[in-house]
Amino acid sequence: MINIPKGTKDMLPNDSYKWQKVREVVQSLARKYNLHEISTPVFESTELFVRSDGESSDIVNKEMYTFNDKGGRSLTLKPEGTAGVVRSFIENGLGELLPAKLFYISPCYRYEKPQAGRLREHHQFGCEIFGANSLASDVEAVLIAYDFYKAFGINPVIHVNFLGCPECKSNFKDTLKNFVSPKLDDMCPDCHKRYETNPLRILDCKSPVCKEILTSSPKITDNLCPKCQDKFNEFKKMLNSFGINYVVDPKLVRGLDYYTDLAFEFVDEDKTLGQNALGGGGRYDNLVAELGGKSTPVVGFGIGIERILLYLESKGIEIENPRKLDVYVASNTEDENYVIKFVKSLRDKGFAVESDLMARSLKSQFKYADKIGAKFVITIGDDEINENKVSIKNMETGEQIKVWSNDADDYLREYVK
Ligand code: HAM
């Protein structure tokens, strides 16, 4: 017996309607917000992620699935969706008509310690809006994500931070280093490295000792230049005007290095899953140029689908299963041909129909139809064939009626919506 790899999950037939619902919601948002789907390969050159997500990020350092192919190229299973989309944006000249508003549903791979809501293979609904550096595009990104959550009855709190323009960011790095420097000896080895390579990441440290030291650290939001301060204030005002529940979190630096000014996370404050980030994103205005494209500002987000489904389950929020079988055709006749043709004629008229494929007794067929939740059972025996009629049983009301076989669809149509 070979088991599923650690940290991965099968999507089982009984749960497929939940994923279909996710896709439906995404398609409906795509239509309303005029987003266009993009799909990039599951693997890319390792260098793409190293350069995009950051050499000092945990994702690149610890979590990538990297391998050499038979031609000796170093490839990596995508740990997140953004880098591949940016690569494709540049390579395919998608910047010709801006803004380019793109979305994807993509698997992502991270070698993390699996736990509830944290998988080694997960899927993200992601959205990237290329070309606009405006309050309107920041707000639009947040509203798309918010509408997604709303469609599932989720009302997360949005944690927001503003990392500032390159100057603000660079000044704040120095401020933070000055604060940390006398305390560095007490801090974890990772923070020693971060101090040298990427001091902002110190704010994200999970070690309790470092966290304690950082409680009194300077706040990036207190150290913004007037222009950045204005931008952030406008953004917050806009969230207020939409009644969006937000918290300013000056330690939110996110696990990826490409973010430039706005950073946000959609948070389950109850920590139902232990993991509290139901999604996250922000602005990354330098990445396109850093990867060799023409400088293009971008704002985007990613939402973990498994995490959303697990969250709904743990909160007892049900996704309605719309897939009910309209009709089960039960038969006890040798004339299989007649039954197959009748079943096909109903399917051609748009009904969802199943019939016996296992030569079961009539009683077992009824039992099965009941188990799978068929709305109607139509019975065809030799008598019915001779009379050119079928028996229809409404499984909800128990009501039974015989109708001309040609009229069965009209009868069903009255009930089957
Ligand atoms: P991220 O915050 O690393 O951002 O991931 C986005 C979301 O994916 C998380 O909030 C979480 O819901 C889900 N997620 C991440 N890792 C796992 C995991 N191991 N198991 C289950 N779910 C997970 C990004 O990936 C960015 N590319 C988002 C973005 C797009 N920023 C701008 N554009």
Which residues, given as ranges, of the chain have pLDDT below 50? none
**99 in Cβ contact with 130 (< 8 Å):** yes
- The pLDDT value recorded for residue 57 is 87
- The pLDDT value recorded for residue 63 is 96
How far apart CA 113 and CA 115 sit, in angstroms, is 7
How much distance in Å is there from the Cα of 267 to the middle of ligand 1? Answer: 12
How far apart CA 392 and CA 353 sit, in angstroms, is 13
- The pLDDT value recorded for residue 71 is 98
- Regarding the beta carbon of 302 and ligand 1, being less than 6 Å apart is answered yes
Index of the ligand 1 atom closest to the CA of residue 120:
19
- Regarding the beta carbon of 122 and ligand 1, being less than 6 Å apart is answered yes
- The pLDDT value recorded for residue 276 is 80
Alpha carbon nearest to ligand 1 atom 31, residue: 281
Which long-range CB contacts under 8 A does 232-240 form with residues at least 24 apart? 232/162, 232/262, 234/135, 235/135, 235/138, 235/139, 235/160, 235/162, 235/262, 236/160, 238/135, 238/138, 238/139, 239/139, 239/142, 239/158, 239/160
Alpha carbon nearest to ligand 1 atom 25, residue: 80
Index of the ligand 1 atom closest to the CA of residue 81:
27
- The pLDDT value recorded for residue 270 is 80
- The pLDDT value recorded for residue 269 is 82
Alpha carbon nearest to ligand 1 atom 2, residue: 280
Alpha carbon nearest to ligand 1 atom 14, residue: 304
Specify the pTM: 0.93
How much distance in Å is there from the Cα of 282 to the middle of ligand 1? Answer: 12
pLDDT digits (tens, 9 = 90+) for 329-362: 999 999 999 999 999 999 999 999 999 999 999 9
How far apart CA 142 and CA 158 sit, in angstroms, is 9
Which amino acid is located at 413 in the chain? R
